[in-house]
Structure 1
């Protein structure tokens, strides 16, 4: 992460392919290793591969990016951003003693297999200021977050019973009772 922040501040060329490769791999970007990233970025630096559009890494003018896209793309990005907020909340609540169910585990797996948990930490804000919302909207204009959203929606359609503990006939009420009990037990420790 330090390498990526440095690239934003100093410029990617100043940080170099090796440091950026480590940063991208640490984030789990596209499931590629640091070595694979370094080969691709190094080839681009040496002119042996397609040039890397470094200007996109430092592009922070969210308003200008939003002005360049059409209404349909903006509506889609808003749908993705709002939808990812819900999925992100569910993802994070697992760490707060929320009972695990097959549906919840499958949703987390879809995020984790793409290595996008840390990206969601940075992009998704559950109570965003206008600038944060604009930046989140830009991040959801197509690309990996749009693909993640689609994968999560597909998973949810395949197993919509997120809050049903197997073997508990009380459904969501049983789920909440179990979670509440666990929270009380943890508070008593």
Structure 2
């Protein structure tokens, strides 16, 4: 008869998420994970599988719990409002927790060994899926006349993602929320104007 778990799996996953958010995938050791979760390594293996499987679960939880502003943004009436909502919500998230600043996806993808390549590719895929949603929304904005016909939805989406990723790195490096908000304001100042109704 197997022993049943004596820890809260959901709480352990939340604790592991915070470790990965702070240290990235490669930087998070099993010692870090067992200390944060209060669960010994064999029990972590039993509950979640290996470190990669635990990271993937943590990443899914991060998207569900912390990036809910993305689908909300896509419903806003103008492309500029979409971009502004995403920028300011990302800034708020990247600076909300002093013990794990920045973005889990960016922190996890910046560096890695050959063994961590599957994790890096998973993070790239997750980013690409988000960028595609934004690109599709901007394509609709062009069709609706909210963006000029000369606007390029793929370039605008890539531009927004580049700013978001840069701000995540800056947040991790200790930049203040005020500085990041100034970056967002500058980004929005360069946003293409809607098609003229005249």
Greater RCO (Cα-Cα under 8 Å, separation 6 or more): 2
Pair in the same fold by TM > 0.5: no
| TM-score with structure 1 setting the length | 0.30
